[in-house]
Each structure stands twice: as structure tokens, then as C-alpha cells.
Amino acid sequence: MNKPVPNKKISRFNRFWKLIGPGLVTGASDDDPSGIATYSQAGAQYGLSTLWTSIVAFPLMASIQQMCARIGLVTSQGLTGTLKKHYPRPILYLMLIFSFPAIVMNIGADIAGMGAVGNLLFPSIDATFFSVFFTVLLLGLIIYLPYMKIAAVLKYLCIVMLVYFIVPFLYKQDFKEIFKATFIPTIKFDKDFIAILVGILGTTISPYLFFWQASVEVEEMKNKKHLVVNKKLISDIKQDVDFGMTFSGFVMYFIILTTGTVLFKGGVHQIDTVEQAAMALKPLAGNLAYLLFAIGVIGTGLIAIPVLSGSLSYIFTETFGWEQGLDKKFHEAKGFYVIIAISLLLGLSLNYIGISPIKALIYTAILYGITAPVLIAIILHISNNKKIMGEFVNGPVTNILGFIALIIMTVAAGLLIYLQLK
């Protein structure tokens, strides 16, 4: 009896699906509910004028995340561990001081956004219930599931975000206008437009992603035993990161496209939260657009919050030399999981102590804006240090893109601080 010949396309897809992982999850977590709120406001306030930013942001995001992934692979340490080993302690503690409140406020804003959208889908149930439910659910899954299960769950959750590729086409589009806005940058020299550009950059190039990418690559190496770092592995990781950042860029692009056509042209120019964006879509683009947008918000939150809390826990445990890792059980790395729990509970508590999600996002953007340029400079320095990276130092293209990212984020940080003080 002849054996069935496997479908080549299916087997090729299976190989590709096994290849991608941390890069995809990192990219998807970049488009968290707070990021969606930023993109929605950009589209509602300025139409398609900021569509081009997704094209510009992609190579910058990809270059930084590739460096972080390589640092994790080559050193077998997260970014914090590498900082601790090769740089003065004050730099490490400074990153810790700025990262902790920024990440906690980001978690709080995301939990609030998920709760509010849950309430939109089920109006008879209070938003607070959903916020508590999602917090407890995520905490239980993070503690209970081993790393490979968590990684698989997060990877499959990314599929939910494909809904954002559908939503814009539930509304009539002017493709000539879209093409022009995508490839011909528009810059308006006024305070609000500059603030939106800075917000988009701060949302897409976030320091917590740097820490997560390096640490999660170490986790992957632990689970793929006897794996040596070579050019093939580096190439595979590059593909993974590129795919994840491309996915992230497309989600960002389609959210701006949706809100920039539906809301802006519908006369809705002020969006402060994700639930406002979802509600505004309902009468203008129909129930299906509203429903898909809302489901996408919950899906992105379920991806982003474990990444946010995990990155914070990696920062703390590597700083103080505690046992760490999502591959470990609770009793093997109590400190690691306790920090995750504290970050989630503190994030949830922001809803009850008078800090609104919008204020939390502003404070987060400022703290990220301050730390991002410093971290990018350090990442560039590590990635070009042969004593640390050996033969896997940066190539010329990666360096050029990295330095462009450093310059842009430094200017963005200065503008952000100036706009806030003014």
C-alpha cells in the first residue's frame, strides 16, 4: 500500500511555523491595547497623515530587536545580565528605577483597556469584573503553564490580530489616497502632530521589548538542548524577528488606516481609549467592524501583559541574581513569579487609585522616552564589542539602522519632555 505523499506547501508552512516564535510574540505584544489607543488617536485626529510611520518604524524596530536577540543567544544571558557583567552598576540601577514604574503603568493601562472592551461586548457585566478576571486568568496561566506551553499559546494568540487586516475593508476605501499617504510622508509642525509622532515612536520602540527579546531567546536555547550558536541559528532568529516586526508594522498600519478613514472622515477626531475607538466604529462601519476591533484588543492584551510582566521580572531577577525563567516551576523560582504577580496586581490597582489609563500612558511614554536612547546606545555598544559577541558583532547595515534609531529616539525623547513641560 502506497504511503500518502505529504503536501509540500503544508510541510513548508509547518517548518516556517516552528521557526518563528519569540520574534512574532515580541512584535505582537508591541501592538498592545495602549499602542492601539495611540494608533487610533493618530488616525482619528490626522486621517492617513501618519500611515508612513509604519514603513519608517519597521527597519528601526527590527534592527534593535535583532541585536537584543543576538545578545541573548551569544551571551546566554538577558540584557540585564549582560549590563550587570560589563557596565557600571549605576547604569543598571537607573534602568531598573525607570523601567519598573513605566512597565507597571503600561500593564495598568492594558488591563483597563481590556476590561473596558469586555464591558462593551457584554454591557451587563461591569468593566472592573473583566479587569480582575483577565488579571487572575493571566497570572494563573503564567504560573501554571511551562514555558513551551506559554510560548505556543502566545504564538497562536497572534492569529487573533489578523482581524485588524479585515476591519478597514468593511468600509469603502480610496486606494489612491492610501498609496499616497503610505509612501509620501506628511509632517505638520504643530505641537499635537509632533506629540502623536513621538507617541507612535515610543509605542513601537519600547525598552521592555529589548529586555524580553534577549531573555526569551535564552529560554528558547534552554529548551532546545545541545544547540550551538552558529550563523544558521543567527539567520533563523533574524527571520523570526523580521517576521514579528513586519507583523507588528502591518497591524499598526491597518489600525491607522481603519481609524484614519472611518473615524476621521466620520467626524470623530478625539479618541482617548481603545473602547472609544471601538464604539465610534460601530455606527460608521457596522457591527462586524466594531466586534472584530474589540476582540483584537482583548487578544493583544493577552499577548502583551505576559511579555510586560515577564520582562520586568527578568530585569529584577537578573539584577539581584535570583532564580528565573518561565521554564521553571513556582517553587523553583519564587522571586521570579512573585514579581510577575506584584506587577499585575499593581497594574490592576491603578484603576482604583485615581490614575486614569490616559495619564498612565503619558507617564509611561515619558519614562520610555528617557530610557530608550540610553538603552539603544548600550545595545549598540554591546553588539559591536568583540570581547562579548565574538564573530557575531553587528554588520554595517545593522549599525546604520541602529544609529538612526538612536538619533530619532533621542530627538523624540527631547521633544516629548519639551512638550510635556511646555
Q: What torsion, rounded to 10 degrees, do the Cα atoms 208, 148, 133, 367 define?
A: 0
Cα(183)–Cα(197) distance, rounded to whole angstroms? Answer: 16
Average the pLDDT over each of 24-33, 112-121, 295-304 and give the range with the smallest value. 24-33
Mean pLDDT over residues 34-49, rounded?
A: 88
Q: Please check the confidence at residue 401 and state whether its pLDDT lies above 90.
A: yes
Res 322: pLDDT: 92
Quick one: which of 37, 45, 156 has its CA closest to 106? 37
Mean pLDDT within 137-146:
87
Q: Residue 327, SS3? A: coil
Residue 166, pLDDT > 60, answer yes
From CA 29, how far away is CA 311, in angstroms rounded?
Answer: 12
* Residue 409 pLDDT class (50, 70, 90 cuts): confident
Instruction: Work out the pLDDT band at 183, boundaries 50, 70, 90.
Output: very high
What is the mean pLDDT of the segment spanning 48-64? 91
- Per residue in 67-76, pLDDT (tens digit) is 999 999 899 8
Q: Does 9 have pLDDT greater than 70? A: no
Angle, helices 127-144/147-157, rounded to nearest 10 degrees: 140
Characterise 354 by phi-psi region: left (phi > 0), alpha (psi -120 to 50), beta (else).
left
Give the pLDDT of residue 284.
72
Q: Cα separation of 202 and 252, whole Å?
A: 13
CA distance 219 to 202: 27
CA–CA separation, 41 and 32 (whole Å): 14
Beta carbons of 242 and 65 less than 8 angstroms apart: no
- The answer to whether the CB of 26 falls within 8 A of the CB of 212 is yes
Report the half-sphere exposure of 374 (CA within 13 A, side-chain side). 16
Q: What CA–CA distance (Å, rounded) separates 82 from 385?
A: 12
User: What per-residue confidence (pLDDT) applies to 397?
Assistant: 93
Q: Where are the domains of the chain?
A: 19-421
Of 276-285, 385-394, 406-415, the least confident? 276-285
What pLDDT is attached to residue 171?
73
pTM of the model: 0.87
Closest CA to 102 of 413, 408, 328, 334: 413
Measure the CA–CA gap between 413 and 368, rounded to whole angstroms: 8
Confidence of residue 326 (pLDDT cuts 50, 70, 90): confident
What CATH code is assigned to 19-421? Answer: 1.20.1740.10
pLDDT band at 3 (very low <50, low <70, confident <90, very high): low
Alpha-carbon dihedral sign for residues 259, 264, 266, 272: positive
Q: How many CB atoms lie within 10 A of CB 150?
A: 20
Determine the pLDDT at residue 2.
53
Better pLDDT: 152 or 384:
384
- In the chain, the percentage of residues whose pLDDT exceeds 90 is 27
Q: Give Dmax (Cα) for the chain.
A: 79
**DSSP assignment, residue 151?**
H
Instruction: Please give the torsion angle defined by the CA atoms of residues 217, 369, 315 and 88, in that order, rounded to the nearest 10 degrees.
Output: 110
Instruction: Check pLDDT > 70 for residue 121.
Output: yes
Higher pLDDT, 272 or 87: 87
- When pLDDT is averaged across residues 109-113 and rounded to a whole number, the result is 89
